[in-house]
């Protein structure tokens, strides 16, 4: 029967030790242990391979900070203390994306103080930088590009949102380009580019009609705010596009390794397969699949049928009730393991060349550095 073991074995240590690999992107559905996997990889890279590593989470959950013994994470890398890096000389830092602060930093970097103050005061910017759909993913691209450009890290490990949002992470540069090239944006920019005349000036008859229609739909004040925002950022748009496209090229380069993280459940494996297809289409380097929370029976050569038969025989005899209960529990575990292998085989059959590694389900949630070490060792088994 096909199983995750039919795939080539994923050698995670080879990836983490390779100085040519500077970025590892962990992606997958929600609730499959992606954040824990990212943290475990980063910790192992620092402790076992002596690499100066930073792990960036885009998911605002606090699990990463807690597992690394930090009280909080923010937009600035924080060094993780108390880990075993003396022999290899590595370091581990962690951070969580703050999309508004990242957007503010971009504005400050690429405009003068007066223009930045004008942008920060604009109501449309205040809303867009905090809540607009897609801003988080684009700012994640910005932050990854910033970390890469600084050259301070041997390895950057990125923990993305659940995979459909992670697809937004990949799509951010293309969506930005479509926005910048859109007809509506060109109309909004027309007054600013024609000498700073009012948004509602009749630059052309067609624009006058356009502005009146849009006013009715979204309101005059919002249109004014939007026009001011677009005009203020006009000089930055080229930089936005250039940096986004540069980061996209980095994600396609050999220095990047994408790891899909999934649990042996139909929805999670389906998401992983969908993402693998997208990575292939975008010519991005898929390094392998991490199959988390896999169940394995302690006794491999005792199948479910024999176990249940023995339990029923003991029950008929009225002896060894505890032993019968153990045999039934073993049978249930064997049946679950068979189902999980069948589910995992759907990915392997679709992508037979993608290396895979499976991690046995842990008895409790990982919440500290020792737990992360256990996961890292399981990921790197020979």
pLDDT tens per residue, range 8-53: 999 999 999 999 999 999 998 888 999 899 999 999 999 999 999 9
Residue 46, both tokens: 């620092």
Report pLDDT for 203: 40
Residues of the chain under the 50 pLDDT cut: 1-4, 184, 192-219
pTM of the model: 0.83
Beta-carbon contacts of residue 169 (< 8 Å; ≥ 6 apart): 27, 58, 137, 140, 141, 160, 161
**Predicted local distance difference test score (pLDDT) of residue 338:** 94
Each residue of 159-186: pLDDT tens digit? 887 766 667 777 776 676 666 555 545 5
CATH architecture under which domain 4-194+234-298+344-379 falls: 3-Layer(aba) Sandwich (3.40)
Query: Residue 53: beta bridge partners?
Result: 92, 155
Domain boundaries, the chain: 4-194+234-298+344-379, 304-338
Cα 312 from Cα 290, distance rounded (Å): 38
For residue 251, which of 278, 289, 283, 276 has the smallest C-alpha distance? 283
Lookup: tokens for 210: 């356009």
């Amino acid at each position: 029967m096909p199983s995750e073991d039919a795939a080539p074995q994923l050698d995670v240590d080879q990836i983490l030790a390779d100085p040519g690999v500077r970025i590892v992107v962990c992606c997958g559905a929600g609730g499959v242990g992606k954040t824990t996997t990212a943290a475990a990889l980063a910790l192992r890279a620092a402790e076992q391979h002596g690499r100066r590593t930073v792990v960036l989470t885009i998911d605002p959950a606090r699990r990463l900070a807690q597992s690394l013994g930090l009280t909080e994470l923010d937009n600035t890398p924080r060094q993780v203390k108390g880990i075993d890096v003396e022999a290899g000389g590595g370091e581990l830092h962690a951070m969580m994306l703050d999309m508004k602060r990242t957007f503010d930093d971009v504005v400050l970097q690429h405009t003068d103080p007066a223009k930045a103050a004008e942008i920060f005061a604009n109501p449309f910017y205040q809303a867009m930088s905090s809540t607009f759909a897609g801003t988080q993913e684009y700012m994640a691209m910005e932050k990854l590009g910033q970390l890469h450009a600084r050259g301070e890290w041997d390895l950057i490990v990125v923990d993305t949102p659940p995979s459909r949002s992670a697809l937004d992470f990949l799509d951010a540069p293309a969506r930005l380009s479509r926005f910048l090239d859109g007809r509506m944006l060109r109309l909004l920019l027309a007054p600013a580019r024609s000498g700073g005349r009012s948004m509602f000036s009749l630059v052309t008859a067609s624009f006058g009609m356009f502005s009146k229609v849009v006013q009715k739909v979204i309101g005059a004040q919002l249109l004014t705010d939007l026009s001011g925002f677009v005009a203020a950022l006009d000089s930055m748009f080229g930089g936005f596009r250039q940096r986004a496209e540069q980061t996209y090229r980095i994600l396609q380069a050999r220095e990047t390794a994408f790891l899909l993280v999934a649990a042996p459940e139909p929805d999670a494996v389906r998401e992983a397969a969908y993402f693998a297809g997208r990575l292939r289409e975008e010519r991005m380097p898929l390094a392998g699949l991490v199959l988390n929370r896999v169940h394995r029976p302690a006794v491999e050569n005792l199948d479910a049928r024999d176990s249940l038969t023995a339990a029923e025989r003991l029950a008929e005899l009225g002896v060894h009730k505890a032993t019968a209960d153990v045999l039934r529990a073993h049978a249930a575990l064997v049946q679950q393991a068979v189902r999980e292998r069948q589910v995992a085989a759907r990915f392997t059959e679709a992508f037979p060349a993608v290396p895979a590694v499976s991690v046995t389900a842990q008895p409790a949630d990982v919440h500290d550095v020792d737990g992360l070490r256990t996961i890292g060792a399981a990921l790197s088994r020979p």
